[in-house]
Structure 1
Amino acid sequence: MAKPGAVTEPRGAAGVAPGAEASRAGKALPAPFLGLVAAMGLSSFGDAVWLIALSVTLVGTAGPALAGLVLALGSLPKVLTLLVGGAVADRTGPRRVLITTDLVRAGAMLGGAAAVLLVGPSLPLLAGLIVVMAVASAFFIPASDALRPNLLPAEHLVRGNAVYLAAVRGGQAAGGALGSWLAGLGGLVTVAAVNGVSFLVSAIAAGNTKTLTSKEPRQRVKLRQLGKEIAEGARYVARRPALRTAMIVTGLLELSGAGPINLGLVLLGGTQGAGWLLTAMTLGASLAFVVSVKWPPREKAGRLATAGLAAQVGCLALLATGNLAVGIAAFFTLGLVAGLTALVLVSLAQRWSAKEMRGRVMSILALFTLAATPIGNLLIGVLVEALGVPLTMFAHAAVALVALALLVATPALGRAALTEEKKS
């Protein structure tokens, strides 16, 4: 019988008995899951191209200042509705939410393409599309994170997460690299139509997946109870020290790296060096996914997260030197360790959450992650003005050091394992 507060649960991530999980050991990732991964990569590519085409169109329609304001405000609906998305995923089932949000985004993109073709790219129309896509994304993110443990045996969860995230980020990178060319080639209408088709493909792939357990819940969403269910999710996290600390550590991890990784590229590398720093970061992140797919962290997952955070503290401190060669090495290492640490923390949050609470738990984790980026970008700007670049880098290292201290002070997190629990 498991002890209260144990690192792992008596049953697998998807509620499958350990013996059943063991029988699946060594098998490849399920083909329907790999199909979903490929579809997610495709839709991420379409999203990246759409963002570039949208930005170009907004600047041409409303001017740079108003375009920037619209894009910035357009991200608020995602943050404001994330917790609602998690609660809905728990009530109606994450797979069903995934399919629905993909269909909504497909309809928005195809309808938007038709509207732009007929009446032109007016600012209200584009702003409406931005809001619809942001809200749909807020429902999609926690549903996606909650669904993966239901599709994969526990021993494949980390590897599956790594493959999934690699496809998503690979699609984003490819879309970013080719976005300007494709947007210029086809224009906003063509890009929106292609993006809409990619969401239809994604919806079909999500519908083709098979969960490891019984059917998902199929309860009706009751608007009056959503607030109560969101609060229930918050209490669920607050009452579990290891899970609560994992959330805080994730937020601090993102906060310490967001500014240096985004604005720091130019502050540290200048116009010519920024490309080298970005390339180093990308290579490090790519290596992290290769390593986690080939050798997924299991028995020593918590120790890997501890080592990764310690390395992040050192790398951020080294950026204070202002040396480009040191910066390239530090950015490569940051890409490697930040990717591995985040992968471990996400996988632990999935494993430690009861199936009926997982959507809400993952929405809280996503909120910590998404909120850290704008706060981090704002923070680095203020600190550079007040303290200069070297002291600003030390300040970010201090934030990562706080995260490391919290992790070390929580043995259940620092010694966590992503393996099946042995009966005691």
Structure 2
Amino acid sequence: MPAKLIAPGTATDRAAHRDPNVLRWLGAYAASMAGDGVYYVALSWAAVQAGSPAQAGLVMSVSALPRAVLMLGGGVVADRFGPRRVVIGSDAVRCVAVLAVAALLFLTGLGLWPLAALALVFGTVDAVFVPAVGALPARITGRGQLARVQGMRGLAYRFAVIFGAPLGGLAVAFGGAATAFGLAGLLIAISVPLLISLRVRELPPDDRAAGATAVGTMAAGTPTTETRTTETRTTETRTTETRTTETPTTAWRDLVTGLRYIRRHRVLAPLMLATALGDLGFVAPLNVGLTLLADERGWAASGMGWVLAGFGVGAGIASMTLTVRGRLPYAGRVAGYSIIAGSVAIGALAYVPGVLAAVGVALLIGLLAGLSGAVCGALLQTHSDPAYLGRVTAVSSLVSLGFAPLSMPLSAAAIGAWGTGPVFVVSAVVCGLGGGIALGVRELRRAELPH
């Protein structure tokens, strides 16, 4: 469907928190993420009821493979067809799929195959949805507002997590899996008309050239600019006419060019490495590690819940800070120091004496990790050419959503062999290396967010 375009000098100049266009996008994102929260609760409960624990675990992990394998291709799709169109299509497909399974479960009862098929669809769609979501803010607001939008997105995500999971639990308790899936579909459906109403900014001519013409040049070595000299008889002078010709490209060339663009970028390349190490050191301790730590210390599920709540509050404060301020000075340094400080807090979490202290440390981890994540995300948004943002987001998301979760089984096995303390410390060291790279690479250390 044709996109509504933003006229130059209008909506892109507004503060993001006062821009109806940005607020519509934020509402769509929050509704979609809340639907995700309900969906995951319904899927896990239905899978446990329909099969053995091993089968339920398999159903829950089905979506991870297509998401990891197809994520880079999803970035190409987002850049080729436009992030708005891809996000609308993704949410529409997810809505139809989850409502279809809700109807099937209501008519025939629980079964593993429909659940596995739904998880496969969600994982495949996520591979294009995630890069498109990352590329969309640059099309709906100005560069100076992207940091604030990143903070607003973090707040919307926290709201969706707090709202979605309990709502899914209530839907399962009162109406079963079919009702919960139906509710998830309706929440996702709310996002579609909001996304359709978005007005998007056309890429500037130089960005279009970077995304299309330059792709053919860099990937295929085909010249895209030809210069021809024509002679003007009346003035007996020579004029030079430069004509730019767009070279047809393939999806593979787009992908290769996007990866080359990231590798050669003086800010994005070290930023990707820093965030990858930060994610690898963060994901395992705050997921499987925290569960095992709570069991080891006798904190029970309620204690673990309080620790997770402390983390969520800290992350929410970080997002609120960026939302209110709009930007932070010395962004590269802030990212590096907050990653290092957060890594120290991760290592300390395994040695706190009780639940209350653990909640305090978790709040600090959430604050520092949320701050570094928001600043790194804002730097990624503002230092990438809009024509490449889908592919840049895909590479960044591939690490956090694809590779980092693979460390969880290894961390669980390591905790079983050596205990929580050593594993948390090793994870903290890995995370701290990301901060070291952020501070050690001159271009990233001096990177700033636009005014």
Considering the TM-score relative to the shorter chain, is it more than 0.5?
Answer: yes
Q: Is the 8 A contact 1:268 1:327 kept in 2?
A: no
User: Aligned partner of 2:108: which letter?
Assistant: V
Aligned counterparts of 1:27 and 1:245: Cα–Cα separation in 2: 28
**Which residue of structure 2 lines up, in the alignment, with residue 10 of structure 1?**
none
How far the C-alpha of 1:108 sits from its partner, in A, is 1.0
User: Aligned partner of 1:88: which letter?
Assistant: V
Matched, 1:395 2:418: no
Aligned counterparts of 1:25 and 1:365: Cα–Cα separation in 2: 28
**Which residue of structure 2 lines up, in the alignment, with residue 348 of structure 1?**
379
Aligned counterparts of 2:50 and 2:386: Cα–Cα separation in 1: 46
Matched, 1:337 2:368: yes
- Aligned in 2, Cα 1:209/1:67: closer, same or farther, shift over 3 Å? same
Output one character per residue of 1:310-367: Cα deviation in whole Å (capped at 9) or x when no partner: 2112212322424224433221111001011111111111222212211111100110
Q: Give the structure with higher Rg (CA).
A: 2
Aligned counterparts of 1:357 and 1:162: Cα–Cα separation in 2: 22
User: Aligned partner of 1:229: which letter?
Assistant: D
How far the C-alpha of 1:173 sits from its partner, in A, is 2.3
Aligned counterparts of 1:348 and 1:329: Cα–Cα separation in 2: 29
Give % identity: 29
User: Aligned partner of 2:66: which letter?
Assistant: P
Aligned counterparts of 2:133 and 2:16: Cα–Cα separation in 1: 22
How far the C-alpha of 1:187 sits from its partner, in A, is 2.1
Matched, 1:268 2:299: no
Q: 2:269 aligns with which of 244, 254, 265?
A: 244
Q: 2:282 aligns with which of 257, 264, 286?
A: 257
Aligned counterparts of 2:55 and 2:11: Cα–Cα separation in 1: 56
Q: Which moved more, 1:118-127 or 1:334-343?
A: 118-127
> Counterparts of 1:349-364 in structure 2 under 5 Å?
349-364=380-395
User: Aligned partner of 1:307: which letter?
Assistant: Y
**Which residue of structure 2 lines up, in the alignment, with residue 7 of structure 1?**
none
Q: TM-score, normalization: structure 2?
A: 0.82
Aligned counterparts of 2:150 and 2:353: Cα–Cα separation in 1: 35
Q: Which moved more, 1:232-241 or 1:26-35?
A: 26-35
Aligned counterparts of 1:204 and 1:304: Cα–Cα separation in 2: 38
Matched, 1:419 2:436: no
Q: 1:369 aligns with which of 397, 400, 404?
A: 400
Aligned counterparts of 1:311 and 1:250: Cα–Cα separation in 2: 14
How far the C-alpha of 1:106 sits from its partner, in A, is 1.5
Output one character per residue of 1:229-272: Cα deviation in whole Å (capped at 9) or x when no partner: 22221111111132111111111111111111112323333333
Matched, 1:178 2:167: yes
> Counterparts of 1:23-34 in structure 2 under 5 Å?
24=13, 26=15, 28-34=17-23
The higher-RCO structure (CA 8 Å, 6+ apart) is: 1
- Aligned in 2, Cα 1:22/1:327: closer, same or farther, shift over 3 Å? same
Output one character per residue of 1:269-303: Cα deviation in whole Å (capped at 9) or x when no partner: 33333233112111111211121111233332112
Q: Which moved more, 1:298-307 or 1:264-273?
A: 264-273
Other structure's SS at 2:336 match: helix
Aligned counterparts of 1:244 and 1:94: Cα–Cα separation in 2: 23
Q: Which moved more, 1:169-178 or 1:83-92?
A: 169-178
How far the C-alpha of 1:24 sits from its partner, in A, is 2.3
Matched, 1:141 2:172: no
Other structure's SS at 2:250 match: helix
**Which residue of structure 2 lines up, in the alignment, with residue 231 of structure 1?**
256
How far the C-alpha of 1:160 sits from its partner, in A, is 1.0
User: Aligned partner of 2:286: which letter?
Assistant: I
- Aligned in 2, Cα 1:279/1:233: closer, same or farther, shift over 3 Å? same
**Which residue of structure 2 lines up, in the alignment, with residue 385 of structure 1?**
416
Output one character per residue of 1:59-99: Cα deviation in whole Å (capped at 9) or x when no partner: 11112211111211332111111111110111111111011
Q: Is the 8 A contact 1:86 1:143 kept in 2?
A: yes
Structure (1 or 2) with the greater strand fraction: 2
* RMSD (Å) for aligned C-alpha atoms: 2.6
**Which residue of structure 2 lines up, in the alignment, with residue 168 of structure 1?**
157
Q: TM-score, normalization: structure 1?
A: 0.87
Q: Is the 8 A contact 2:275 2:376 kept in 1?
A: yes
**Which residue of structure 2 lines up, in the alignment, with residue 311 of structure 1?**
341
Aligned counterparts of 1:335 and 1:53: Cα–Cα separation in 2: 27
Aligned counterparts of 2:63 and 2:432: Cα–Cα separation in 1: 33
Q: Is the 8 A contact 2:338 2:368 kept in 1?
A: yes
User: Aligned partner of 1:380: which letter?
Assistant: S
- Aligned in 2, Cα 1:265/1:207: closer, same or farther, shift over 3 Å? same
Matched, 1:194 2:194: no
Q: 2:353 aligns with which of 316, 323, 328?
A: 323
Structure 1 alignment gaps of length 5 or more: 1-13
